Structure 1
Amino acid sequence: MEELELIAFKIISGVGTARSSYIAAIQAAKAGDYDRAEKLIAEGDENFVTGHDAHTSLLTKEAQDGPGSTISLLILHAEDQLMSAEAFKIIAREFIDTHKRIDALEAKLK
Structure 2
Amino acid sequence: MDEKIFELSFEIIGYAGNAKGMAFEAISKAKAGNIDEARALLKESKDEVNKAHKCQTQLIQQEASGNKTDVSVVLIHAQDHLMNTMNYQMLADEIIDIHERLHKLENK
Do they fold alike, i.e. is TM over 0.5?
Answer: yes
- The structural deviation recorded for 1:75 is 0.4
**Structure 1 position 62 matched with structure 2 position 63:** yes
1:40-85, Cα deviation, whole Å (9 max, x unpaired): 0111111111101101111111222355x23110000000001011
Match of 1:51 in 2: 52
Match of 1:36 in 2: 37
Query: Percent sequence identity over matched residues?
Result: 34
**Runs of 4+ more than 3 Å apart:** none
The 3-state SS of whatever aligns with 2:46 is helix
Which stretches in structure 1 are left out of the alignment for 5+ residues? none
Say if 1:22 and 1:89, in contact at 8 Å, map to a contact too: yes
Q: Give the TM-score of the pair, scaled to structure 1.
A: 0.91
- The structural deviation recorded for 1:25 is 0.4
Q: Give the TM-score of the pair, scaled to structure 2.
A: 0.92
Whole-angstrom CA distance in 2 between matches of 1:52 and 1:20: 17
Match of 2:79 in 1: 79
Match of 1:23 in 2: 24
- The structural deviation recorded for 1:35 is 1.4
Aligned residues: 107
Which stretches in structure 2 are left out of the alignment for 5+ residues? none
Counterpart amino acid of 1:52?
H
Match of 2:90 in 1: 90
